[in-house]
Homo-oligomer: A and B are copies of this chain.
Amino acid sequence: MSDTHDKILETALELFSRQGCDAVSIRDICTQVGIKESSVYYHFKNKRAIALELYSQFEARSLELMERLASALESGVRPERSSYLKVCAIYFDNYLCDSFCNRVLRLLSIEQLGDRQARTLYRRWLFDEPLGFQTRVFAALTGRADASYLAVKFYAPIQLYAQRWLLTGTLSEGDKAAFRADANSHIRKFFAELTRR
């Protein structure tokens, strides 16, 4: 892809993720990229087309991550804290805290209400896939029938912390640290309880 093309994407993501697509004008993007407004239309058909390309890149990265998580689990099958902390670290560092994914997630959480396509992605990658993944893992590990509730108990606090620290305001190193602390503390306690029984 051309340099300009990528710069537009990057800038658009930065601005979109702060206020949503509608609140950002082509002018805003161009000023920051350093090109004239009409030039955008050489690279993208539409303002919407910019968002759509961001979505599709995000989806690709999300699928990639899922595979990575799955293969990271295969080695350490048992519900050991350390093994899990490793898997979660990947999820946190390369997804929730990753500069690209984090901003798309913010964007999705805004656009979700008015845009079908965004809503689909939002539901899938913030609810269904994480919960589904977790459910499958717990089912395999514990053999218990309530794996899906276990998954909720595991994932809900993480999502709450994510929303608290990672999807508001501007993503700072302090917020990331706070999130990791809260989340990891939860995971430790969760496995402590799980294995106690």
Contact = CB atoms under 8 A, between A and B. Distances in A.
A23 B185 CA distance: 40
Given A152-B160, A159-B156, A186-B149, A119 B169 contact: yes
A3 interface: no
Range for the number of chain A residues in contact with chain B: 20 to 34
A127 B165 CA distance: 11
Contacts of A152: 157, 160, 186
Contacts of A159: 156, 160
A20 B112 CA distance: 11
A114 B160 contact: no
Given A149-B186, A168-B123, A113 B160 contact: no
Interface of A: 17-20, 22-23, 106, 109-110, 112-114, 119, 122-123, 127, 149, 152-153, 155-157, 159-160, 163-164, 168-169, 185-186, 189
A164 B23 CA distance: 25
A20 B157 contact: no
Q: Which DSSP category, helix, strand, loop or mixed, fits chain A's interface?
A: helix
A93 to B, nearest CB: 22
A153 B155 contact: no
Nearest to A159: B160
Given A127-B160, A160-B155, A160-B160, A168 B119 contact: yes
